[in-house]
């Protein structure tokens, strides 16, 4: 076997792998124009899904769908006619050796009512969960609730930073109406990974 051929090939493969990983660092994991393309459901953006039947006692009357925005393009709208749970989620692969994930987005909520008076645990929020290579959930899943204190017709810019477990290879981002009714709109979602410091 000719090692003079094998070594350059291995070097090339490793270089391509490192280059592909590096290209994801500091860049949005959501492809540009995600909200402009329908997925298989013909309601949600490409790559997004409805909650699984075992996730929560989801409100059967809720809707999640892409709608036209006033500025052109599309945005994700969740509506819940009664107090309960509703949402939509997207899962994306993570580059290796990152220690944090910055998530930013624009949010607008209308006619929000809570089932109780605990806005920290209920209302409009996001849920972030990390998975290992076997698809198992890792410790450190985070719920950020109470994002909207009152209904408004104005868009609000939101941003959170999450620690990424060492074994995480995938992240699940979920937008929720939790024990609340009303309408929430989501747009301009960005998930930016940060490289682990040397």
Confidence check: pLDDT of 36 > 50: yes
CATH fit for domain 27-195, picks 3.40.50.10070, 2.60.120.260, 2.120.10.30, 3.40.50.2300? 2.60.120.260
The per-residue pLDDT for range 160-176, each reduced to its tens digit, is: 999 999 899 999 998 88
The per-residue pLDDT for range 70-100, each reduced to its tens digit, is: 777 888 888 888 877 788 888 889 988 888 9
SS (H, E, C) the chain: CCHHHHHHHHHHHHHHHHHHHHCCCCCCCCCCCHHHCECCCCCCECCEECCCCCCCCECCCCEEEEEECCCCCEEEEEEEEEEEEEEEEEEEECCCCEEEEEEEEEEEEEEEEECCCCCCCCEEEEEEEEECCCCCECCCCEEECCCCCCCCCCCEEEEEEEECCCCCCEEEEEEEEEEEEEEEEEEEEEEEEEECCC
Q: What is the pTM of this model?
A: 0.76
**Residue 18 pLDDT level (bands cut at 50, 70, 90):** very low
């Amino acid at each position: 076997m000719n090692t003079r051929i094998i070594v350059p090939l291995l070097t090339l493969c490793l270089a391509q792998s490192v280059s592909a990983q590096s290209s994801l660092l500091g860049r949005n994991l959501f492809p540009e124009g995600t909200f402009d393309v329908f997925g298989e459901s013909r309601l949600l953006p490409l790559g997004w899904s409805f909650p699984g039947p075992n996730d929560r006692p989801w409100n059967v009357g809720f809707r999640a769908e892409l709608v036209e925005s006033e500025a052109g393009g599309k945005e994700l709208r969740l509506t819940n006619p009664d107090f309960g749970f509703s949402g939509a989620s997207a899962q994306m692969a993570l580059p290796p050796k990152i220690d944090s994930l910055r998530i930013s987005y624009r949010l607008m909520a209308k006619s929000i009512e809570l089932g109780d008076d605990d806005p920290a645990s209920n209302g409009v929020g996001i849920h972030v969960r990390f998975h290992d290579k076997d698809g198992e959930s890792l410790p450190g899943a985070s719920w950020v609730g109470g994002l909207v204190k009152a209904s408004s017709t104005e868009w609000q810019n939101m941003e959170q930073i999450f620690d990424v477990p060492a074994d995480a290879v995938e992240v699940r981002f979920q937008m929720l109406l939790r024990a609340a009714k009303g309408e929430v709109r989501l747009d301009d979602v960005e998930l930016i990974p940060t490289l682990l410091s040397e």
